[in-house]
Chains A and B, each alone.
Chain A
Amino acid sequence: MSIGLLLLIVVGLGVIGYILGRRRALASVAGDPRKLHSLPSQYGQSVFLFTVVPALLLLIVWLLAAPSVIDGQVRGTVTTDGVSQSEIDLKMADVGRISDGLGALMAANDMSEDDLTALTPGDSDLRGQLAAVGVAVGADVEPAVFEAAKHKRSLTNSAGLIRTVLILLVALAGLAYAMTRIRPDFRARNVSEAVVKALLLGSSLIAILTTVGIVLSLIFETMHFFRLYPAKDFFLSLTWNPQFRGGSDLGVWPLIWGTLYVSFIALLVAVPIGLLAAIYLAEYATKRVRSVAKPLIEILAGIPTIVYGLFALITVGPMLRDYFAQPLGLGNSSSSVMTAGLVMGIMLIPFVSSLSDDIINSVPQSMRDGSYGLGATKSESIKQVILPAALPGVVGAVLLAASRAIGETMIVVLGAGAAAKLSMNPFEAMTTVTVKIVSQLTGDTEFASPETLVAFALGLTLFVFTLGLNVLALYIVRKYREQYE
């Protein structure tokens, strides 16, 4: 039974429970709600919650746990002595694909379970049949792998059946239990509110779960990568040259250099323009100018990054190449650090300007008045009074912008190029950490080679970098923020 249908049935049971619970509560006091502890609907609510919540929790736990349990069972059957971990991983990937393929084959050819058990890897056209349903299988299918695939399929099928039965049972049990508790003095309101509160807490815990998921998946796959490729080379080598046949150099430094170079140019564009624009809007602009210019600049923040990427690819890149790089003899590539940096800088302008605008506006008027009273001009008070007072906030904004720049993907994918180089020439194509994550993980991904797994190590590097910048930014803002009241 599909998960969607199962969900519908559980919720349907819950609604039935609500109606029955409400009725039963009223019946228990002969239709006089004044004698109940809580409102009749709250009795119904408690039955609904007891029916639906445990069943759904079980479903979530099942969905999270079942794949790894089945995987472990199947892994036992293909494991033989003297086989390395990575070979078993490869075999498991085959098992997974064949078992999916068998399912598709059954659906496509109207086969029965018996037909399937009769299939053997010796069948000459098995590979062809699997290819016909869109599953490509490597050269020869080992009998052990094929049996494991069948085993996996039957396990998955029976797990699905058990899941359906178990969840419906839990829902019904919850319904029955909640019904037996309904009495006039049962504190339905307190019970259902406690459950709802727990649900609210559970929703807010998803943020923690997400972080844990990110950190764990990055760390596990990175460890996996370092088992296949020495960590020393990753952190110290100066060449990046992945070969899909093996023997690659996967040094991270060319990528980090490209990332920092692009981000530096982006900040060089965004910080002066954004800061000056914010100062103008906060201190000089008339109300009318502000009401037009501020939304216009903020439109830049609402434009998806793929649009900036295309802008870099079709307009800025060729323009820089034709008017700057080629006449100056600096390069012939339309994708370059400069292209990506410039466009990314445009993207970051609203980010810097709106944050700085808020900060400048929060400097109290009395400080401006004091400065004017001493005879300073407007620009003098801005430079000598307001900016120093707003500095920690501005630094925080710049750091947040830097973390954005480092994590930005689409602009560099389309604008910066793909060649990993350690060069100073800004008109040369270089590449960044995010570009390489995309290029190593798109296409057919097999999670056993260092060339693919390196993306997770790069992801972890990126995560640590941006997290560090954010924490630093928040720390600076908190520590040095002057409190004006």
Chain B
Amino acid sequence: MTDATAHNAPAAAPARPKSLLTQDARTKRRNAAEKRFRTYGAVAICLAIAALVMLLTSVLGNGASSFFQTYAKIEVTLDPEVLDPKGNRDPAEMSKITTIGYGNLMKQAFPASLQAAGVSTEGVPEKEIGDMLSKEAPAQLRNRVLNNPDLLGETISFWALANGRIDGYLKDRVTMTSAERDGNVSPEQLQLADRMMEADLLEKRFNWDFITFPDASELRPEAAGLGVAIIGSAYMMLIVLFLALPIGVAASIYLEEFAPQNRLTDLIEVNISNLAAVPSIVFGILGLAVFINYAGLPASAPIVGGLVLTLMTLPTIIISTRAALKAVPPSIRDAALGVGASKMQSVFHHVLPLAMPGILTGTILGLAQALGETAPLLLIGMVAFVRDYPSWPVDGLFEPASALPVQVYNFTTRGDPAFVERASGAIIVLLVFLLCMNLLAIYLRRKFERRW
């Protein structure tokens, strides 16, 4: 140090703080700004996670109850005079008796069996007692009788689906006050339901039918299920898997290993990245215009949905497959070429098997994305009301079906609040499928991932 600086130093000193340990105003301000900024970031993350939690609790809270359904116990005598007038126990002839015949039988049997069990039906007209059962209940009974004609003439005790409003009462969706304003249910019926519960004639049970039953009409939310939708979604995933995986892998191999540097390759690359960003509904328009109107494929069939979803998933699969192929080190290719393999052999015998785990992971994630896609399916007629299960593939692929996410949309368009519960329940099923697929992808990645 020179004398000059030593001499000048005290002159500048008064502006500085006494010690490094005490902060001046400006430092304090800067540190506060730092802290604030940091808090903003933490708050943003908390908001995002809070949104996720709210979303999941809303769906789970609304939908969990759809896996339980209210059933009423009823003693019914299967009168052969009504159900099999000719008396020869021929199922073909018995099937001519429609659900109306069974419905009348149940309407008579229900009040009687209540009284027999000691439940007072005072104040509730006979018709309203019958209305407490689902309109689907006669069909249930009919199926049971047709499967087992020997039951005729016997008195069986039978757990029949209760009406959606009674079900809602047990799930706290319908209350005494709301029943007063509701034309479909009366407070007296709810009181009777209370008495039936005390007598163990009414109970909530786990509802497998929700997963296996087909959709039901607006008037009987209690019987609506997801069977057809799950089958339709499964068929579409099958088509996507069989088309998108081979085509996507072939395209990626070409682009990654063989494509020369030219205009065509550039064009393909630009197209793939653009297709990945095209709104899904535009693919629906494509499906409607090309597959249905032009090629004449049947509307609302899984084949059309599968083709549309294939085109949508292709970019995803191509992008992840290319990443997997790129991750295989060049030394593997060089070694294969060095021992005399052709370029094609080096790719198919060495590079592709090593890239397979990555490809499969990408494919599963692409499938998961396709499974949740709704908008394009709305346009190709998957919203149609379908009650018949499609048959086995290949024929079943051309028959009308629904799809899980579209079924959710379908439920939301109906008036009865019971369908909100159904829609949320359907979403739970959808999310469970997605969760399984993602877990499988994570497992595959963990188990087979290699780092070179």
Within B233-255, the residues touching A (CB, 8 Å) are 246-248, 250-251, 253-255
A409-B251 CB under 8 A given contacts A2-B394, A221-B289: no
Q: Which of the residues B42, B247, B274, B373 comes within 8 Å of A211, measured between beta carbons?
A: B274
Contact A297 B282 (CB under 8 A): no
Interface size on A, residues (CB 8 A): 94
Q: A284-B38, A310-B59 are in contact. List 19 more A-B contacts (CB 8 A).
A: A67-B294, A197-B254, A200-B251, A205-B268, A218-B282, A273-B48, A275-B44, A277-B45, A277-B48, A299-B52, A304-B374, A307-B430, A310-B408, A311-B59, A380-B30, A410-B409, A434-B279, A467-B274, A467-B278
Q: Which residue of A lies closest to B394 (CB)?
A: A4
Residues 206-233 of chain A: 1 if any B CB is under 8 Å from the residue's CB, otherwise 0?
1110110110011011000000000000
Contact B38 A193 (CB under 8 A): no
Contact B38 A207 (CB under 8 A): no
Contact B251 A314 (CB under 8 A): no
**Inter-chain contacts of A276 with B (CB < 8 A):** 40-41, 43-45
Interface size on B, residues (CB 8 A): 88
- Which has the most chain B C-beta neighbours within 10 Å: A63, A197, A379? A379
Within A106-129, the residues touching B (CB, 8 Å) are none
Contact A346 B374 (CB under 8 A): no
Residues 41-71 of chain A: 1 if any B CB is under 8 Å from the residue's CB, otherwise 0?
0000000000000000000000110011000
A293-B44 CB under 8 A given contacts A210-B286, A409-B374, A467-B274: no
Q: Which residue of A lies closest to B376 (CB)?
A: A409
Contact A200 B368 (CB under 8 A): no
Query: Is B309 an interface residue when CB atoms closer than 8 A count as contact?
Result: no
Contact B285 A377 (CB under 8 A): no
Contact A463 B289 (CB under 8 A): no
Contact A296 B52 (CB under 8 A): yes
Query: Is B219 an interface residue when CB atoms closer than 8 A count as contact?
Result: no
Contact B281 A438 (CB under 8 A): yes
Q: Tell me the minimal C-beta distance from B330 to chain A in angstroms.
A: 19
**Inter-chain contacts of A67 with B (CB < 8 A):** 294-296
Query: Is B290 an interface residue when CB atoms closer than 8 A count as contact?
Result: yes
Contact A200 B379 (CB under 8 A): no
7 tightest Cβ-Cβ pairs between the two chains A and B: A407-B279, A304-B372, A280-B41, A217-B289, A203-B250, A276-B44, A409-B375
A437-B253 CB under 8 A given contacts A280-B45, A299-B52, A311-B55: no
A305-B41 CB under 8 A given contacts A207-B251, A207-B272, A210-B311: no
Contact A200 B281 (CB under 8 A): no
Which residues in B have some Cβ–Cβ distance to A below 8 Å? 30-31, 33-34, 36-38, 40-45, 47-49, 51-52, 54-55, 58-59, 62, 246-248, 250-251, 253-255, 258-259, 267-268, 271-275, 277-286, 288-290, 293-296, 311, 314-315, 318, 342-344, 368, 371-375, 378-379, 381, 383, 394-395, 405, 408-409, 412, 420, 423-424, 427, 430-431, 434, 438
A313-B412 CB under 8 A given contacts A67-B294, A273-B48, A300-B52: yes
Query: Is A442 an interface residue when CB atoms closer than 8 A count as contact?
Result: yes
Contact A280 B44 (CB under 8 A): yes
- Which has the most chain A C-beta neighbours within 10 Å: B43, B277, B293, B405? B277
**Inter-chain contacts of B374 with A (CB < 8 A):** 304-306, 309, 409-410
* A441 CA to B144 CA, complexed, in Å: 41
Contact A463 B282 (CB under 8 A): yes
Which residues in A have some Cβ–Cβ distance to B below 8 Å? 2, 4, 63-64, 67-68, 96, 189, 193, 196-197, 199-208, 210-211, 213-214, 217-218, 220-221, 272-277, 279-281, 283-284, 293, 296-297, 299-300, 302-311, 313-315, 346, 349-350, 353, 377-380, 382-383, 400, 403, 406-410, 413-414, 434, 437-438, 441-442, 445, 447, 455-456, 459, 462-463, 466-467, 470-471, 474
A-B contact pairs, 25 of them (CB 8 A): A2-B395, A214-B286, A218-B282, A220-B289, A221-B289, A273-B44, A281-B41, A284-B38, A297-B49, A303-B55, A304-B373, A305-B372, A306-B427, A307-B431, A309-B412, A310-B424, A378-B34, A379-B34, A400-B277, A407-B278, A414-B412, A441-B288, A441-B379, A442-B378, A459-B282
Q: Which of the residues A204, A280, A403 comes within 8 Å of B268, measured between beta carbons?
A: A204
Q: Which of the residues A273, A383, A410 comes within 8 Å of B47, measured between beta carbons?
A: A273
- Which has the most chain A C-beta neighbours within 10 Å: B54, B278, B430? B278
**Inter-chain contacts of A438 with B (CB < 8 A):** 281, 375, 378-379
* A372 CA to B437 CA, complexed, in Å: 45
- What's the dominant secondary structure at chain B's contact region? helix
* A380 CA to B51 CA, complexed, in Å: 29
Contact A470 B277 (CB under 8 A): yes
Contact B295 A379 (CB under 8 A): no
Contact B383 A208 (CB under 8 A): no
* A306 CA to B375 CA, complexed, in Å: 9
Q: Tell me the minimal C-beta distance from A157 to chain B in angstroms.
A: 14
Q: Which of the residues A206, A293, A305, A306 comes within 8 Å of B49, measured between beta carbons?
A: A293
Q: Tell me the minimal C-beta distance from B299 to chain A in angstroms.
A: 9
Q: Give how many A-B residue pairs fall within 8 Å (CB-CB).
A: 264
Q: Which of the residues A302, A309, A463, A466 comes within 8 Å of B434, measured between beta carbons?
A: A302
A314-B424 CB under 8 A given contacts A193-B344, A293-B49: yes
* A208 CA to B272 CA, complexed, in Å: 8
**Inter-chain contacts of B343 with A (CB < 8 A):** 193
* A154 CA to B278 CA, complexed, in Å: 40
**Inter-chain contacts of B274 with A (CB < 8 A):** 211, 467, 470-471
Contact A379 B48 (CB under 8 A): no
Contact A280 B38 (CB under 8 A): yes
A463-B278 CB under 8 A given contacts A206-B251, A307-B431, A456-B285: yes
Contact B279 A208 (CB under 8 A): no
Q: Which of the residues A199, A293, A302 comes within 8 Å of B368, measured between beta carbons?
A: A302
Contact A379 B278 (CB under 8 A): no
Q: Tell me the minimal C-beta distance from A275 to chain B in angstroms.
A: 8
Contact A207 B271 (CB under 8 A): yes
A314-B54 CB under 8 A given contacts A217-B289, A284-B41, A302-B434: no
Q: Tell me the minimal C-beta distance from B100 to chain A in angstroms.
A: 21
* A314 CA to B282 CA, complexed, in Å: 27
- Which has the most chain A C-beta neighbours within 10 Å: B275, B282, B344? B282
Contact A353 B48 (CB under 8 A): yes
* A380 CA to B52 CA, complexed, in Å: 31
* A197 CA to B394 CA, complexed, in Å: 30
Contact A201 B288 (CB under 8 A): no
Contact B55 A308 (CB under 8 A): yes
Q: Which residue of A lies closest to B257 (CB)?
A: A200
**Inter-chain contacts of B272 with A (CB < 8 A):** 207
Q: Which residue of A lies closest to B63 (CB)?
A: A310
**Inter-chain contacts of B344 with A (CB < 8 A):** 193, 196-197
**Inter-chain contacts of A302 with B (CB < 8 A):** 368, 434, 438
* A408 CA to B375 CA, complexed, in Å: 9
Q: Which residue of B lies closest to A67 (CB)?
A: B296
* A114 CA to B434 CA, complexed, in Å: 53
Contact B289 A296 (CB under 8 A): no
Q: Which residue of A lies closest to B247 (CB)?
A: A203
**Inter-chain contacts of A377 with B (CB < 8 A):** 30-31, 33-34
Contact B289 A310 (CB under 8 A): no
Q: Which residue of B lies closest to A408 (CB)?
A: B279
* A199 CA to B253 CA, complexed, in Å: 11
Q: Tell me the minimal C-beta distance from A438 to chain B in angstroms.
A: 5
Q: Which residue of B lies closest to A307 (CB)?
A: B427
* A25 CA to B102 CA, complexed, in Å: 72
* A216 CA to B353 CA, complexed, in Å: 38
Contact B282 A315 (CB under 8 A): no
**Inter-chain contacts of A68 with B (CB < 8 A):** 294
A466-B279 CB under 8 A given contacts A4-B394, A310-B59: yes
Contact B280 A407 (CB under 8 A): yes
**Inter-chain contacts of A279 with B (CB < 8 A):** 41
**Inter-chain contacts of B288 with A (CB < 8 A):** 441, 445
